[in-house]
Amino acid sequence: MNSMKIYVGTRGSILAIAQAMEVKKLLYNYFPDINVQIVHIVTSGDINDKISLSEIGGKGLFLKELEEALLTGTIDLAVHSMKDVPAFYCDGLVIPCILKRSSPYD
C-alpha cells in the first residue's frame, strides 16, 4: 500500500528547519505510515537579508513565498515562527495549530 505523502514547507534557516523537523516527528507519532517531505522555500526576507525589514516590507517578507506555495498546492502545510506572522494573515489560509512554545532563549 502506498503511504500518503505530505509536503511541509519551511524556510532554510536553522531554526525553521528544526521547527519543521519537530512537526514531522509529531506527524509520525500520530500517523506512522505517512511520508513527510520537508520542502525548503527561499523567501524575500531571506534574499534581502542586508536591508532592515521595515525598509522592505516588514514581517510578511518571510511568509509571502510560503503562502504562495500553500495556495498553489506546492506544499500541504507550512511551518513558521509566529514572531514573523503579521496580525492580518493571508486570505484563503488559516493557522490550524500552534505548537507548544520551546525555550524563548534560542
Region 43-48: mean pLDDT is: 74
Q: 89 vs 41, which has greater pLDDT? A: 41
The pLDDT assigned to 21 comes to 96
What's the pTM?
A: 0.81
Q: Which positions are catalytic?
A: 84
Q: In this structure, what C-alpha cell is assigned to residue 64?
A: 509571502
The answer to whether 82 and 21 have CB atoms below 8 angstroms apart is no
Residue 7 scores a pLDDT above 80: yes
Sheet holding 5-10, edge to edge: 35-40, 5-10, 77-78
For residue range 69-98, list pLDDT tens digits in order.
Answer: 999 999 999 998 877 777 666 778 888 888
